């Protein structure tokens, strides 16, 4: 009998930059009594604490901005990354609103800008530059996430 536990939780896809970092976390639907439960993807970004770019140098606990992305959001991001076009997403829940922008950079890659506001007042804003290689990896991960959030595997 095999006593090893199988890890069924996907790892985070992380990108670290000198002034900021971002991570993507797949949240697959649970196989419960709700037959048609749909999963999501969480996008989180945090600024660097002191700009040294070390893994522990980011304000994940104090200043992170977290956004829950659904199927339509993922589809829009994938399309924008493929077509090298701007993607503008807006999420609102109660008094909180978050704006997510993917914008092509001159010379290749993208900028990801995430802004958080409460009652119309800006709380925080984080920008993460992405290289062409990182954009390609993110597009691949998002393409694979679409069937997973629908429990098609």
Topology (CATH) of 13-149:
Transcriptional Co-activator pc4; Chain A (2.30.31)
pLDDT in tens, 124-153: 999 999 999 999 999 999 999 998 888 776
Q: What is the pLDDT of residues 3-25, one digit of tens each?
A: 566 555 678 899 999 999 999 99
User: Which residues contact residue 75 at a Cβ distance below 8 angstroms, ignoring those fewer than 6 apart?
Assistant: 146
- Is 76 or 9 the better-scoring residue by pLDDT? 76
Q: Which of 15, 28, 44 is nearest to 129 (CA)?
A: 15
Residue 131 near residue 104, CB atoms below 8 Å: no
């Amino acid at each position: 009998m095999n006593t090893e536990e199988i890890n069924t939780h996907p790892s985070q896809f992380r990108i670290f930059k000198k002034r900021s970092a971002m991570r993507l976390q797949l949240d697959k639907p649970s196989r419960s009594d709700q037959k048609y439960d749909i999963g999501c993807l969480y996008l989180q970004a945090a600024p660097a604490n002191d700009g040294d770019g070390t893994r522990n140098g980011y304000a994940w606990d104090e200043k992170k901005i977290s956004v829950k992305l659904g199927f339509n959001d993922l589809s829009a991001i994938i399309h924008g990354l493929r077509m090298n076009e701007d993607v503008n997403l807006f999420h609102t829940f109660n008094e909180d609103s978050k704006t997510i922008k993917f914008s092509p950079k001159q010379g290749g890659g993208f900028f990801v800008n995430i802004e958080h506001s409460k009652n119309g007042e800006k709380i925080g804003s984080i920008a993460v530059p992405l290289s062409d290689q990182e954009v390609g990896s993110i597009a691949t991960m998002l393409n694979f996430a679409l069937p997973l959030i629908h429990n098609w595997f």
